[in-house]
Chain A
Amino acid sequence: MTTKITLPVSEEEIRALKAGDEVSITGVMITGRDAAHKYLVDTDGPEVREILKDSMIYHCGPVVKQDDDGTWEFVAAGPTTSIRDEPYEADVIEKYQVRGVIGKGGMGQRTQAACDKFGCVYLTAIGGLATILARSVVEVPDVHKLDEFGAPEAMWVIKVEDFPAIVTMDSHGRSIHDEIEEQSRANYEKLLGK
């Protein structure tokens, strides 16, 4: 069963999500990866502060096309590896009251603790699903830091419709990434005769 999430979303709705839940997201969020996270921690992020509150940040470096009339269109937009933002994410969640972080590969203890404390979830989007996920980006109203960070790293403001993702770290301390790592560690030790 898929849970529909509309942004902005309440803390209560986010707290109701459990690891393993499939969700479908509709609303306005921003993309942000390596350079954006550093920027959001180093500054007050005035351009995106309002959008981020009770919304989500998507770890994505898209391929974006500008049409003749100047409007932007996402051509390819799958997730990038999230763990690189681990040094920053907990602070971003707290500072901007972010309710969801979307990416791939999972995140670490600090982010998990921030999810638990402030009411946020980590969601996995399937890596490489660039064409399908770009289709769920129905509008690109704005972009920040395009010249400074380049297209893959810029903070794109995107309106998504029925964006598919799976909750893999909930706000109650449960991480599917940790569980799979633990299970695979047992298999790894068996294979290596440890």
Chain B
Amino acid sequence: MDKAKLTEHFLELIRRASTTLPPDVERAMERAVEAEGEGTSGAATLSLMLENARAASSNSTPICQDTGSLLFFIEYGPDFKAAEVEDAAREAARKATANYWLRPNAVDPVTGKNSGDNTGIEAPHIEFKHRDEPGLRVRLLLKGGGSENVGVQYKLPDGSIGAGRDLEGVRRCVIDAVYKAQGKGCAPGAIGVCIGGDRCTSFCWSKKQFLRDLDDTNSDQQLAELEKGLMDELNQLGVGPMGLGGKTTVLGVKIAKLHRAPACFFVSVSYVCWAYRKAAMTVSGEEVSYDY
């Protein structure tokens, strides 16, 4: 596929991610409206969020003005070259910014200068994985900054919350992180957790959980039970939509595990706001299809 065409596909992927609430998230929000109950302020807030998402989709404008950091997860076959795919992704980020689907969100931390087009050092972030099968599979997260700020990495044991090196310890970390986040990550959010790994891989895999479907079930039975139990418990916190009280504090909890070094036991908790933006596309030959 020529580069101009591939860039157009990346651009469309970014547009969809910024302006469309994924169907699993929309379903979870609709369930939350019912859980809050008619006439409650929680239900009113959630309904406005859904109305906003629908308006964004029909206007093709961003759901949220913080269009986040771009995180691409790309699998590519022998018919693609990583460098060319990367060029297309970066060019698409520039064009999406010019089209107002993205806010210029790449700031040099030393000079304070905004690059103006969402490109910079590690911006966008692109993770490549080669595969034998031809074609391209691209998944994109637009990860908002407000929710990123409430993420936490714990080092177990942690005496301050009575968390030891076991699943009960993990449970305590997640409850602690979500309680401390209150409404600051734009509740109700989804929670991505990684148990184990090193500081770097642990945080990364906690965020990769956001690529999962909110309605899926973890193939690891122990983690599946922990996900379900935590979802119930976190919704007992009473933080509610935007932290103004209510029954819905989280839309889902997704947990991964990674082998760890004997000395280390990290629990990383990432938070994604209700404006949970993700999109995916598959390129095969000259054909492209978007998941939604």
Q: Which residues of A contact B (CB under 8 A)?
A: 35, 60-63, 65, 75-78, 80-81, 83, 104-106, 124, 126-132, 134-135, 150-153, 166, 168, 176-177, 180-181, 183-185, 187-188, 191-192, 194
The residue from B56, B114, B274 contacting A152, defined by CB atoms under 8 A apart: B114
Q: Across the interface, do A128 and B236 meet the contact criterion of CB distance under 8 Å?
A: no
Contact stretch, chosen from B126-134, B179-187, B261-269: B179-187
Besides A80-B66, A128-B274, A192-B162, 20 new A-B residue pairs in contact (Cβ under 8 A), listed by A number: A61-B103, A63-B61, A63-B62, A63-B65, A78-B64, A78-B65, A104-B186, A106-B183, A127-B183, A128-B49, A129-B48, A130-B64, A131-B55, A131-B61, A135-B55, A152-B103, A152-B105, A176-B244, A180-B243, A188-B237
Closest 6 pairs (CB-CB, A-B): A150-B114, A76-B65, A127-B186, A128-B275, A105-B184, A76-B62
Q: Across the interface, do B65 and A77 meet the contact criterion of CB distance under 8 Å?
A: yes
The interface residues of chain B, by DSSP majority, are classed as loop
The residue from B61, B112, B146, B162 contacting A130, defined by CB atoms under 8 A apart: B61
B151 CB–A CB distance under 8 Å: no
Could you name 21 residue pairs across A and B whose Cβ atoms are closer than 8 Å? A35-B112, A60-B65, A61-B65, A62-B103, A78-B64, A105-B182, A105-B184, A106-B243, A124-B242, A127-B146, A129-B48, A131-B61, A132-B51, A152-B114, A153-B114, A166-B244, A180-B243, A184-B239, A187-B236, A187-B238, A194-B162
Q: Across the interface, do A180 and B238 meet the contact criterion of CB distance under 8 Å?
A: yes
Interface positions, chain B 80-126, Cβ under 8 Å from A, are 100, 102-105, 107, 112-114, 116
Q: Which residues of B contact A (CB under 8 A)?
A: 45, 48-49, 51-52, 55-56, 59, 61-67, 100, 102-105, 107, 112-114, 116, 146, 149, 161-162, 172, 175-176, 179, 182-184, 186, 233, 236-240, 242-245, 273-275
The residue in chain A whose Cβ has the minimal distance to the Cβ of B182 is A181
The residue in chain B whose Cβ has the minimal distance to the Cβ of A181 is B182
List the count of A-B residue pairs having beta carbons below 8 Å apart: 153
Task: Report the bound CA distance from A130 to B55 in whole Å.
Answer: 10
